[in-house]
Structure 1
Amino acid sequence: MDVMTAVLTRRSEHHLAEPAPSDQEFTYLLRAAATAPDHGRLRPWRWILARDQGRHALARCLADEHPGPPAHKEQIQANAHSTPLLATLVFTPTPHDTTVPEWEQLAATSAMTSSLILLLHARGFGSVWRTDNLTESDRIRRLLRLNPGERLLGWLYIGTPQRLTPPRRRTPEDVTDRISVFTPELMGL
């Protein structure tokens, strides 16, 4: 699959089943995704992969910590139980690096994750990046053994998409209103 096709056909996949990439394949794809722009090559992130019992324990904790009604808690747990691979994204900034501010490290982490999502899609896997207030849960942080200074950025639910039809290719939207051309002579400089 070429890059343009991957970008235009990728969707957040909410119905996932086996197989998911193995730990080795995930690592292979992550090595490529890690070539995304990253000033200083700090790699200010890490992944925690949860399968089987680990996924079930994390699913229970996610449901228990969600402040919503019982039906919503059950849905959160069912979603986490039904996905073959639950990958937790942890932001690990280098706070004292004076050349790479934290916002830039966060941008690098997001770029890496976007690349990983496209690589998963190109290999036939589906994913959805889920985030919410659960990323602030102390109980989840303890369960995942996060270090002080690390932040949860959410979870990639990863598996094989279960859909009846192939994803439609998106039509790129007009973004010309989001582009301007800087010309100093017009600014009176």
Structure 2
Amino acid sequence: MYGLVNKAIRDRLIERHGEEAWYRIRDRAGIEQDVFLFNEGYPDEITYALVAATSAELDLPADEVLRDFGEFWALDIAHGPFGALVTACGSTLGDFLRHLPAMHTRTAMIFPDLDPPRFECDVLAEGSARLHYHTPRTGLTHFIIGLVHGMAKYFQTACEVTVVERKDAGADHDVFEVSWAPSA
């Protein structure tokens, strides 16, 4: 995964639990790095180790840790230097979800070695969509739930996310049903 994910994990831990907690979690994960370069690739094992160590250190389920990291990461990206990519996808949560597949095409221009996940969005009705998440990775279902909730917060829209299919439960990919209050 690119360093921007691991950097967001580090930043979230420091923001919520302080620098000492970050160092304990980093050491528990067996990671020596203290800084992650946002545009550099890192082995996925680093991210998974950070999630597992955070779960153990804070006595929280890994799914809860992943949701929190996903939400924080989405807001960090949306309010940070990649905000233009988010706003290019639209001004509502529905627009963003419909245009999310194109966002990774744009992202590939910034990160040429990126092997991004692939999203598909099927609009079910006004205020409802089915989001398909294709990736070779497993175990990130709750990260995507957090990401969608983070984007809903960014667009100041309440939403519900329901898992319809899970890759780690034998499905080909993760599928989510997302519902929100339609725009007036």
TM over 0.5: no
Give the TM-score normalised by the residue count of structure 2.
0.32
More helix by percentage: 2
